[in-house]
């Protein structure tokens, strides 16, 4: 399989503080990688740096996506290359309707306009799949949404945009068991639509990995990937905890 994301010996700093230290990681087209680790490990910092958040600076190393050097590219240019970041804490956008924001996002991604009627059909198909009430299409994006509803809307964007790489930052946090199943099914459907899509799934827990089986699991601690393995590594984390895995 062709290489989608190539990370070689990168360090990441926030306000001159070293957060991520000499991480290397390759994701091929179609692969699913999970990064696990306790709070403060640097998992979300890695996600933000890859997406181009200006606070998270790659100060050393190489980051290539689809054969292009990401360093210096703005977040919108990274998105146009096919990178998607699903936020742990999605932002509220007051005064902007779900329908309007997603329609503009979809048109910009496809590079062409779509009629209201055609977009409505597509949007409602995915909303029904994710068990989102259609009335939400006319509400302000994420405003007064529950945590579970916000996560479903992240997956709704994933389904609409069909990126080359989906970075999902703790998409399972705060979900009850029913919402977890729905979100997981949405991710799997996006993968079925686009089998070459790579996924970088960041999580604390093994529970979402019961629905989405990664080819590779990496355990991160204090800004470093301590160990890597297959899906069995996630089960070992669940059984023995991070401390034993990291120090064992």
Residues 238-247 pLDDT 10s: 888 888 888 7
Average pLDDT value for residue range 160-185: 94
Return the percentage of the chain with pLDDT > 70, whole number.
99
Q: Which residue has the tokens 């979300």?
A: 44
**Cα separation of 140 and 160, whole Å?**
18
Sequence-distant (6+) residues with CB within 8 A of 197 are: 29, 30, 162, 163, 164, 165, 166, 190, 191
Which residues in 68-104 are b (16+ Cβ under 10 Å) and which e?
A: eebeebeeeebbebbbbbbbbebeeeeeebbbebbbe
**Cα separation of 115 and 108, whole Å?**
13
What pLDDT does 228 receive? 95
Residue 177 CB burial class (10 angstroms; 0-12, 13-18, ≥19): exposed
Tokens read off for 215: 């080819």
Residues 16-75 pLDDT 10s: 899 999 999 999 999 999 999 988 899 999 999 999 999 999 999 999 999 899 988 999
CB atoms within 10 A of CB 133: 10
Tokens read off for 242: 């991070």
Average pLDDT value for residue range 168-182: 92
pLDDT at residue 1 greater than cutoff 60: no
Tokens read off for 146: 């529950």
Residues 67-117 pLDDT 10s: 899 988 999 999 999 999 998 877 777 888 999 999 999 999 888 899 999
**Over the chain, what is the mean pLDDT?**
92
**Cα separation of 243 and 248, whole Å?**
8
Tell which CATH classification among 1.20.1070.10, 3.40.50.300, 3.20.20.10, 3.10.20.310 matches the domain 3-91+164-247: 3.40.50.300
Local structure of 115: helix, strand or coil: coil
pTM of the model: 0.93
What pLDDT does 128 receive? 97
What pLDDT does 248 receive? 65
Extents of the domains making up the chain: 3-91+164-247
**Bridge pairing between strands 198-203 and 165-169:** parallel
Q: Which of 76, 68, 45, 67 is nearest to 58 (CA)?
A: 45
Average pLDDT value for residue range 160-179: 93
């Amino acid at each position: 399989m062709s290489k989608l994301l190539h990370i070689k010996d990168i360090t990441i700093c926030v306000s001159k503080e070293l957060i991520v230290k000499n991480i290397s990681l390759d994701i091929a087209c179609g692969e699913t990688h999970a990064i696990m680790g306790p709070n403060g490990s640097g998992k979300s910092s890695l996600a933000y740096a890859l997406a181009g958040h200006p606070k998270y600076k790659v100060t050393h190393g190489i980051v290539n996506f689809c054969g292009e050097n990401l360093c210096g590219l703005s977040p919108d240019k990274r998105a146009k290359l096919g990178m998607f970041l699903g936020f742990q804490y999605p932002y509220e956008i007051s005064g902007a309707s779900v329908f309007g924001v997603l329609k503009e996002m979809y048109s910009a991604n496809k590079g062409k306009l779509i009629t209201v009627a055609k977009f409505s059909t597509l949007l409602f198909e995915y909303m029904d799949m994710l068990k989102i009430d259609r009335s939400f299409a006319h509400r302000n994006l994420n405003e007064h949404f529950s945590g579970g509803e916000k996560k479903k809307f992240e997956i709704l964007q994933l389904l609409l945009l069909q990126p080359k790489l989906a970075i999902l930052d703790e998409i399972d946090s705060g979900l009850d068991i029913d919402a977890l199943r729905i979100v997981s099914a949405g991710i799997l459907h996006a993968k079925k639509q686009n089998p070459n899509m790579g996924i970088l799934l960041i999580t604390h827990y093994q529970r979402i990995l019961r629905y989405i089986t990664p080819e590779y699991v990496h355990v991160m601690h204090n800004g470093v990937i301590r160990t890597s393995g297959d899906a069995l590594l996630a089960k070992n984390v669940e059984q023995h905890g991070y401390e034993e895995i990291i120090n064992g």
